[in-house]
Chains A and B, each alone.
Chain A
Amino acid sequence: DAKTTQPPSMDCAEGRAANLPCNHSTISGNEYVYWYRQIHSQGPQYIIHGLKNNETNEMASLIITEDRKSSTLILPHATLRDTAVYYCIVRAPNSGGSNYKLTFGKGTLLTVNP
Chain B
Amino acid sequence: DAEITQSPRHKITETGRQVTLACHQTWNHNNMFWYRQDLGHGLRLIHYSYGVQDTNKGEVSDGYSVSRSNTEDLPLTLESAASSQTSVYFCASSDHDRPHEQYFGPGTRLTVT
Contacts and interface: CB of A to CB of B under 8 A. Distances in A.
Contacts of A99: 45, 48, 56, 58
Nearest to B4: A43
Say what secondary structure dominates the interface of chain A: loop
A101 B48 CA distance: 9
Interface residues of A, number: 21
Interface in B58-113: 58-59, 90, 92, 94, 99-107
B90 A44 contact: yes
B43 interface: yes
Interface residues of B, number: 21
Interface in A93-113: 93-94, 99-106
Interface of A: 32, 34, 41-46, 49, 89, 91, 93-94, 99-106
B45 A46 contact: no
